A and B are shown apart, each in its own frame.
Chain A
Amino acid sequence: MRFRTLAALSLTGAMLVPLAACGSSGDSKNEIKIAYQQATDNNNKVMQNFLTGVKKEFEKANPGKKVTLVPIQATENDYYTKLDLMMKSPRTAPDLAYEDTFLINSDIKAGFLQPLDSRVKSWDQWPQFQDSAKKAVSGLDGKVYGVPDGTDTRGIWYDKRVFKKAGLPADWQPKSWDDLLAAARAIKSKAPGVTPMSIYTGKASGEASSMQGFEMLLYGTDDQLYNPQQKKWVVGSKGFQDSMSFLNTVYSTGLGPKPSQALDANIGTNIGTDWFPNQKIGFSIDGSWLASTWLKSGPKPWADWSKNIGWTAMPTQHGQAPGKTSMSGGWSWAITRQAKNPDLAWKFITAMQTEKNAAKYDNSAQNLTVRKDVATDPSYLAAAPTVKFFTDLVASTHYRPAYAEYPKVSTVIQEQMEAVTTGSSSPSKATSDYDKAVSDIVSGKTTKESGTK
């Protein structure tokens, strides 16, 4: 009997152990936790290597302090989700979070982040950062919530071999959307079998469709998505409908990939690893990082790529000033509201953002710098033949109106693009459907005027 009681009690105890383990947490006054995205490709350890290096320096310079790296291995969208879930609870919130500027305003509005104004004001490195990058990490309240660590731009990549067949120049500089269509038509007639051009579209490509696809068009018109002066979302703009019409022309007259290819989630990979290397495409509106696919360490090493592939800027609609356009994203380091050691976290940011470390990261990540000193650093400019061109594009780039509503608005754009691409909707209907959906999302805070960019 006594044995049974004992057995029952000890079994109970044993089963309670896992429960008790749930409650344990080890936070120390001298520790900071850093959450960042770890690429799903296990060969890509760029961020980890960089952070490990800075961590070593930092722990040596600050004895007794401990830096814990919290890699989140996930795709981009899943990373945002996981990071937000972590920041929601004081028990899991990291001290430092790697924030996409695309989502930073949403997270500011959710109260996940701390303003850094008093810290950056007294920081001697802050003047080195470009204004556009500072704007990208500022909230609607005008306060700074992150330190940007780089950006990207978008342009046009074209295959010189295909261009030669189509009688197009090796040094191609399109001046308007019509130039793009003319080149595509020339490729279609003179280089049959080659997909003349690609512009991302539809939900499967996600944010790439909104940004590399639609916004590269829209921000080259006189309109934009959001009127920053009135702080309202733009509806019913001519630029929006013109952009949809461009898309319609590309996909209904066979200048783009087949809709089934365009709406395949893997089109981005296909373009980089198959279509360009194998002369299957004329040109693609794509990100500044495309060439990293062909690096020795990339997924499709291609030693001769720079002889065969050219890059040029995306023209504005009719060539209106400044003649070219681009879109930029970028990432930043932010201190969370729930951070246990915000001062130490800030110290770590400053350790990452010395000129030397910033250049080191940009070079290994094929990242475009947002620092004036790194932009003239010889090691940075020598890292890839495309770096200078795409860095210079930062001057004529645009940032997304990355407010809390943006992710939803972006999804609507992708859906309407998809409808136009498949031919199930017309450009004018897509525009009015978009207007209606956006009005719902932002509860009527819309305007018909685009304001100044």
Chain B
Amino acid sequence: MTASTTVARPGAAPESSGAARVPLRSRTFLRGLPLLPAVVLLLVFLAGPIIYCVYYAFTDMQLTGATTTHFVGLANFRKAFVDDRFYNAILQTLIFTVLSAIVGQNILGLVIAMLFRLATKAMRSIVGALVIAAWVVPEIVAGYVLYAFFRDEGTLNEILAFLHLPQQNWLYTLPIMAVSLANVWRGTAFSMLVYSAALSEVPAELTEAAAMDGAGLWQRFWHVTLPTIRRSVATNLMLITLQTLSVFGLIFAMTKGGPSNKSTTLPIYTYQTALQSYEIGYGTAMALVLLVIGALFSLVYLRALRPEAD
């Protein structure tokens, strides 16, 4: 069999005699064998919980307070769609994601990356180190630091008072704004790094040529730079959106979702339902909705990634 294969493909390089002695199928098996444990681990620890999660979403499972678990079909989803707090959580999640990821991190990251190209080396290293430091800090530490910054007696108000400016109380009056700013503070480094790499790939000839043709700064950016880094933009948006959708620790440390649920995003609400009200089934159903929202965002970005003309 192996001999005839070799003959049947005259263009192919002759296979090594060692491998040729083992039948093709068992060779594929042997080569795949080392992958098997990884696949099993993935199935058990990754696919397993997801399948379980999907199953739980259709049950009335409770952490405590009930001995039996029943299959309840779509009851959890029906309950969610008449639950005002669930709609509120979706709204807060969208505000948080759009404000902090798509607008905040994304644009600020791009701006910093572009300024980097004009800055001196010293400036670059100082700003870069600072921005990345915020990113390296663990989420819960960042949450606490920003809580201390925004709170009534916090650093921000001390600074404002020193400058004789009116004080803020955003953790109370505009909590979603406060946590969004916190997320921008913490996450901008990622976008900045992605865009720094992308911008360094933009051929200098292109922008130079555009400049020769009389294109202004804005035109060069809009018609030359942006189309060239289009794929990086989509990749970056996808990654930071998915990261932001699942932010929990930051918000939990700063506001616990309050006051009056004004910063309760879906992950917070899921936690409250599943682990504080002990309704695991209902909480899991909401986690699934979060998964769907993430998938919808990803679809949009994937479409943007698709080549248009080429």
CB atoms of B152 and A84 under 8 A apart: no
CB atoms of B258 and A203 under 8 A apart: yes
User: B270-300 vs A: 1/0 string, CB under 8 Å?
Assistant: 0010011110000000000000000000000
Partner of A203, one of B36, B37, B151, B256: B256
User: B61-76 vs A: 1/0 string, CB under 8 Å?
Assistant: 0111111000000000
CB atoms of A15 and B34 under 8 A apart: yes
Is A418 at the interface (CB under 8 A from chain B)?
yes
Is B304 at the interface (CB under 8 A from chain A)?
no
CB atoms of A418 and B64 under 8 A apart: no
**What's the least CB distance linking A10 to chain B, in Å?**
9
Q: Which residues of B contact A263 (CB under 8 A)?
A: 172, 258-259
CB atoms of A411 and B172 under 8 A apart: no
CB atoms of B37 and A15 under 8 A apart: yes
**A264 with B151, Cβ < 8 A, contacts A1-B22, A204-B259, A418-B260 known:** yes
CB atoms of B172 and A259 under 8 A apart: yes
Partner of A5, one of B30, B67, B260, B261: B30
CB atoms of A110 and B67 under 8 A apart: yes
How long is the Cα–Cα vector from A106 to B22 in the complex, in angstroms?
62
**A8 with B30, Cβ < 8 A, contacts A81-B275, A260-B169, A422-B260 known:** yes
**A109 with B260, Cβ < 8 A, contacts A1-B22, A12-B34, A407-B277 known:** no
Is B40 at the interface (CB under 8 A from chain A)?
yes
CB atoms of A404 and B40 under 8 A apart: no
Q: Which residues of B contact A411 (CB under 8 A)?
A: 272, 276-277
CB atoms of B30 and A404 under 8 A apart: no
**B residues 173-212 touching A (CB-CB < 8 Å):** 173
CB atoms of B64 and A107 under 8 A apart: yes
Is A69 at the interface (CB under 8 A from chain B)?
no
Is A16 at the interface (CB under 8 A from chain B)?
yes
CB atoms of A404 and B67 under 8 A apart: no
CB atoms of A424 and B18 under 8 A apart: no
**What's the least CB distance linking A264 to chain B, in Å?**
7
Partner of A19, one of B37, B152, B169: B37
CB atoms of B37 and A12 under 8 A apart: yes
CB atoms of B64 and A112 under 8 A apart: yes
A105, closest chain B residue (CB): B65
**What's the least CB distance linking A17 to chain B, in Å?**
9
How long is the Cα–Cα vector from A407 to B152 in the complex, in angstroms?
30
A260, closest chain B residue (CB): B172
Q: Which residues of B contact A418 (CB under 8 A)?
A: 258-260
**What's the least CB distance linking A452 to chain B, in Å?**
26
Is A253 at the interface (CB under 8 A from chain B)?
no
User: B83-109 vs A: 1/0 string, CB under 8 Å?
Assistant: 000000000000000000000000000
Is A307 at the interface (CB under 8 A from chain B)?
no
CB atoms of A109 and B277 under 8 A apart: no
User: A292-325 vs B: 1/0 string, CB under 8 Å?
Assistant: 0000000000000000000000000000000000
Q: Which residues of B contact A88 (CB under 8 A)?
A: 63
Q: Which residues of A contact B31 (CB under 8 A)?
A: 8
**What's the least CB distance linking B3 to chain A, in Å?**
17
**What's the least CB distance linking A251 to chain B, in Å?**
12
Is B171 at the interface (CB under 8 A from chain A)?
yes
Is B38 at the interface (CB under 8 A from chain A)?
yes
Is A347 at the interface (CB under 8 A from chain B)?
no
Q: Which residues of B contact A5 (CB under 8 A)?
A: 30
**What's the least CB distance linking B170 to chain A, in Å?**
10
Q: Which residues of B contact A11 (CB under 8 A)?
A: 33-34
Is B267 at the interface (CB under 8 A from chain A)?
no
Is B223 at the interface (CB under 8 A from chain A)?
no
Partner of B66, one of A81, A109, A260, A422: A109
How long is the Cα–Cα vector from A19 to B41 in the complex, in angstroms?
8
Partner of B64, one of A106, A204, A264: A106
- Interface centre among B37, B44, B152, by most chain A C-beta atoms within 10 angstroms, is B37
What residues of chain B have their CB less than 8 Å away from a CB belonging to chain A?
A: 18-19, 21-22, 30-31, 33-34, 36-38, 40-41, 44, 62-67, 151-152, 169, 171-173, 255-261, 272, 275-278
Provide 21 A-B residue pairs closer than 8 Å at the C-beta atoms, listed in order of the A residue: A8-B30, A9-B33, A12-B36, A12-B37, A15-B34, A15-B38, A15-B41, A78-B275, A85-B63, A106-B64, A107-B65, A110-B63, A110-B64, A203-B256, A260-B169, A260-B171, A260-B172, A260-B259, A261-B152, A422-B260, A424-B260
The 3 A-B pairs at the shortest CB distance, nearest first, are namely A15-B37, A404-B65, A260-B172
What residues of chain A have their CB less than 8 Å away from a CB belonging to chain B?
A: 1, 4-5, 8-9, 11-12, 15-16, 18-19, 77-78, 80-81, 84-85, 88, 103, 106-107, 109-112, 202-204, 258-261, 263-265, 404-405, 407-408, 411, 415, 418-419, 422, 424
**Given A16-B37, A204-B258, 17 more pairs with CB closer than 8 A:** A1-B21, A12-B33, A15-B38, A19-B44, A80-B64, A109-B64, A109-B67, A110-B63, A112-B64, A202-B259, A260-B171, A264-B151, A407-B277, A411-B276, A415-B261, A418-B259, A422-B260
